[in-house]
Amino acid sequence: MKPISTLLIPILSFLFSLTPAKEQKSSDAATEQELTRIAQELMDAVAVGDKAVWQKYVADDLIYTDENWKVLTKKEIIDSMAPLPKGYSGSIRVTNVQSRINGDAAVLSWRALEEENVLGHKLTPTYLVTDTYFRRNGHWQLVATQITVMPSERKVVAVKPEVYQSLAGQYELAPGVVYTITVEAGKLMAQRTGREKQEWVPADVNTYFTKGTIRGEKYFVRDESGQVTEMLDRRENNDLVWKKIK
């Protein structure tokens, strides 16, 4: 019979091997919590124009890309900060946080849920934010931010049945690549060669989109007589032109 100590060695070795992983996971969770708190403090400071919070947590060598694609420095951001004007109020909530932490570097991805009241009108935009933090001299500092607007789905408008009929037909991008547009049970349906059929809904009489998407707007061009001549597949204001052939 083997000594008890001989039997315990593999067990203890296995348990000890688990300890660092558990400790690391706990440490990363604590770091994520701390960075989430910092992110929320920075957002809370925006509406009231609290520059001190940004001075505290933001690195002097910050690279900040805002939702309008401007790359700003720490000084430019802080110099522009001020309390919201009279008649304006708002808040930004940090949600849906995910993190990747490696030693003294961390990436925090989160959604900013904004509620803004502009002279009695309520706005509720959402932003996707990716922050990079470095731990310097024992303190976490924000060194880079990338902000992207998450567009709200467009509203569907009502159009007359004859509008749909004027759009029906075939539109060609290249030989063998065709969109066939039909009206079925009062709905505008579109099917591209080799793909499934989709319903398109109107944003206005000439502009259509697929529910649940924010890209790929379709715009129908008409001639002077009102006849449709082509369809523009619009992606970030770049157009694929589909000529009407039938």
Domains along the chain with CATH numbers:
19-150 (3.10.450.50), 161-244 (2.40.128.50)
183 Cβ contact partners less than 8 Å away, ≥ 6 residues apart: 161, 164, 165, 168, 189
Whether the CB-CB separation of 42 and 53 falls below 8 Å is answered with yes
Which has more confidence, 213 or 135?
135
Distances (CA, A) of 181 to 40, 133, 193, 214, 231: 48, 50, 11, 20, 11
Lowest mean pLDDT among 4-8, 60-64, 195-199: 4-8
How would residue 2 be classed by pLDDT, with cut points 50, 70 and 90? low
| Distance of alpha carbon 24 from alpha carbon 31, whole angstroms | 10
| Distance of alpha carbon 32 from alpha carbon 153, whole angstroms | 31
Tens digit of each residue's pLDDT (9 = 90 or more) over 165-196: 999 999 999 999 999 999 999 999 999 999 99
Residue 70 scores a pLDDT above 50: yes
Give the torsion through C-alpha atoms of 236, 70, 84, 113, to 10 deg. Answer: 50
The structure's pTM equals 0.72
How would residue 122 be classed by pLDDT, with cut points 50, 70 and 90? very high
Residue 11 scores a pLDDT above 60: no
Residue 229 scores a pLDDT above 80: yes
